[in-house]
């Protein structure tokens, strides 16, 4: 099995090495303030054998920290209340740093260890930073993060607690993104910026393998719908990548419907899908994001073009929810199922609540619960009508 990067736009191949991020000719067409061009996907030449998730770094390089294999479970009370026997929660709050981001950090760390990388650097709205800091600590890899000063305090404390270096950016995530890229270009440190580093998409595909496996174990049949809280569109692309792998390996017969669940105040991918700015520029100029769901608040969705192409190719959907719908969904998921999720993840539940009438109640709907509610107590307190 020979692994390589392949440009999703022009098919050019590249070696999988730490300094390779985008496809050179395609990245040259990059417009300012638009999603990244020249996103690379990981590909293999000869189909892997066996049941393990095929990944481009050998198992021996992964650090000693238990990422992934999170529970997929049936919220019985919610199933009864909404007459939805096919409702499932994929609880990625159980990852070591409390978020789905650990899946990507884990693979990036494995590549870094394999190649003797000296430092990993990234920008983050909070969870990617706390995640890379945690996985970096397990791996013994120095981590430097550029974090907007407004990031929730729990995420900042996690970064420091895990021993990473924190650069507080007096600005938005988008500004932190650009600053961290400047730094990695200058120093040669490995960038874990989401979408930009192709392994951030690849690392997240493991969730699709787990969903497929666990539904089979439960004799529940195939996955019909996946609800994905979406900001930059990297989790969305990772979910697609995993199911694409499963299709290629002949383990599933069809692609599930993937739903991009976005907040009203940060809905660039939904707009590009449902109401494009123009045919040649579906995203148009960025709109400043404003939502209680910080993890899905982005002005420019970095993986927007790539995610949009996947949604179009496979008949994916988008659903947009308001902050009050998100906070109501957060309370409902906590009190109705016992799962306290952060606002971004609650947007997946809010999205499902919004469209469930259009779906057959027999279909398997998997909600990706991507981050723990304890990461942003202030938002949850607002939802409860408390002052903090």
Ligand X SMILES: *Cc1c(COP(=O)(O)O)cnc(C)c1O
C-beta separation of 263 from 323 below 8 A? yes
Question: Is residue 105 a contact point for ligand X (CB under 6 A)?
Answer: no
Question: Is residue 101 a contact point for ligand X (CB under 6 A)?
Answer: yes
Query: In the sheet where 165-169 sits, what is the strand order?
Result: 165-169, 143-148, 120-123, 190-191
Q: Which one among 112, 121, 234, 272 touches ligand X, defined by CB under 6 A?
A: 234
SS3 39: strand
Buried b (16+ CB within 10 A) or exposed e, 114-130: beebebbbbbbbbbbbb
Residue with tokens 């190649």: 115
SS3 328: helix
Q: Which is nearer to ligand X, 86 or 229 (CB)?
A: 229
Q: Which is nearer to ligand X, 94 or 220 (CB)?
A: 94
- Alpha-carbon distance of 368 to 229, in angstroms, equals 7
Question: Is residue 289 a contact point for ligand X (CB under 6 A)?
Answer: no
Residue 208 CB neighbour total at 10 angstroms: 26
Residue nearest to ligand X (CB): 371
Q: Kindly state the smallest distance separating residue 93's Cβ from ligand X, in Å.
A: 8
C-beta separation of 289 from 321 below 8 A? no
| 321-350: contacts with ligand X (CB under 6 A) | 342, 344-345
Q: Kindly state the smallest distance separating residue 148's Cβ from ligand X, in Å.
A: 14
Question: Is residue 232 a contact point for ligand X (CB under 6 A)?
Answer: yes
- Alpha-carbon distance of 298 to 7, in angstroms, equals 24
Find the part of the chain contacting ligand X (CB under 6 A) among 4-12, 49-57, 223-231, 270-278.
Answer: 223-231
Q: Kindly state the smallest distance separating residue 344's Cβ from ligand X, in Å.
A: 4
| 107-136: contacts with ligand X (CB under 6 A) | 127
Question: Is residue 86 a contact point for ligand X (CB under 6 A)?
Answer: no
Residue 138 CB neighbour total at 10 angstroms: 18
Q: Kindly state the smallest distance separating residue 236's Cβ from ligand X, in Å.
A: 6
| 236-265: contacts with ligand X (CB under 6 A) | 236
Find the part of the chain contacting ligand X (CB under 6 A) among 99-107, 150-158, 175-183, 278-286.
Answer: 99-107
**Structure tokens, 225:** 């719908």
Q: Checking DSSP bridges between strand 165-169 and strand 143-148, what pairing results, if any?
A: parallel
Question: Is residue 99 a contact point for ligand X (CB under 6 A)?
Answer: yes
Find the part of the chain contacting ligand X (CB under 6 A) among 62-70, 170-178, 233-241, 322-330.
Answer: 233-241
Side-chain-side CA neighbours of 81 within 13 Å: the count stands at 11
Find the part of the chain contacting ligand X (CB under 6 A) among 10-18, 146-154, 168-176, 229-237.
Answer: 229-237
Q: Checking DSSP bridges between strand 257-263 and strand 40-44, what pairing results, if any?
A: unpaired
Q: Which is nearer to ligand X, 233 or 316 (CB)?
A: 233
Residue 85 CB neighbour total at 10 angstroms: 14
Q: Checking DSSP bridges between strand 3-7 and strand 40-44, what pairing results, if any?
A: antiparallel
| 296-315: contacts with ligand X (CB under 6 A) | 296
C-beta separation of 141 from 120 below 8 A? yes
| 354-383: contacts with ligand X (CB under 6 A) | 370-371
Q: Which one among 8, 235, 318, 367 touches ligand X, defined by CB under 6 A?
A: 235
Show the site string, 178-217: x = touches ligand X by CB under 6 A, - = not: ----------------x-----------------------
* DSSP assigned state of 54: P
Which residues of this protein are in contact with ligand X, per CB under 6 A? 99-101, 127, 194, 229-236, 295-296, 342, 344-345, 370-371
């Amino acid at each position: 099995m020979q692994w390589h990067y392949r440009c999703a736009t022009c098919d050019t191949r590249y070696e999988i090495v730490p300094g390779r991020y985008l496809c050179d000719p395609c990245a040259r067409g990059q417009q300012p303030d638009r999603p990244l061009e020249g996103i690379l996907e990981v590909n293999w030449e000869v189909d892997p054998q066996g049941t393990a998730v095929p990944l481009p770094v050998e198992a021996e390089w992964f650090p000693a920290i238990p990422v992934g294999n999170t529970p997929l479970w049936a919220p019985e009370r919610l199933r009864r209340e909404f007459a939805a026997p096919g409702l499932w929660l994929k609880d990625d709050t159980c990852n070591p740093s409390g978020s789905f981001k650990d899946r990507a950090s884990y693979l990036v760390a494995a590549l870094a260890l394999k190649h003797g990388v000296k430092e990993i650097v990234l920008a983050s709205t909070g969870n990617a930073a706390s995640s890379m800091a945690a996985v970096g600590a397990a791996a013994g890899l120095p981590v430097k993060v550029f974090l907007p000063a407004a990031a929730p305090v729990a995420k900042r404390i996690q970064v420091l607690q895990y021993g990473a270096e924190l650069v507080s950016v007096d600005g938005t995530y988008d500004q932190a993104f650009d600053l961290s890229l400047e730094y990695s270009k200058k120093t040669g440190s490995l960038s874990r910026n989401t979408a930009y580093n192709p392994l951030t998409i690849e690392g997240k595909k493991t969730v699709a393998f787990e969903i497929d496996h666990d539904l089979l174990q439960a004799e529940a049949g195939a996955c019909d719908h996946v609800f994905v809280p979406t900001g930059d569109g990297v989790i969305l692309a990772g979910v697609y990548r995993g199911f694409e792998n499963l299709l290629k390996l002949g383990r599933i017969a069809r692609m599930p419907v993937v739903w991009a669940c976005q907040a009203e105040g940060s809905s660039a991918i939904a707009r590009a899908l449902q109401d494009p700015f123009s045919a040649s520029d579906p995203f148009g100029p960025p709109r400043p994001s404003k939502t209680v769901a910080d993890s899905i608040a982005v002005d420019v969705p970095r993986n927007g073009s790539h995610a949009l192409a996947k949604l179009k190719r496979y008949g994916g959907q988008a659903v947009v929810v308001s902050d009050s719908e998100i906070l109501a969904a957060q309370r409902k998921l906590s009190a109705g199922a016992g799962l306290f999720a952060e606002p971004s993840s609650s947007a997946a539940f809010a999205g499902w609540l919004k469209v469930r009438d259009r779906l057959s109640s027999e279909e398997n709907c998997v909600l990706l619960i991507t981050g723990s509610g304890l990461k942003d107590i202030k938002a949850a307190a607002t939802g409860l009508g408390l002052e903090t």
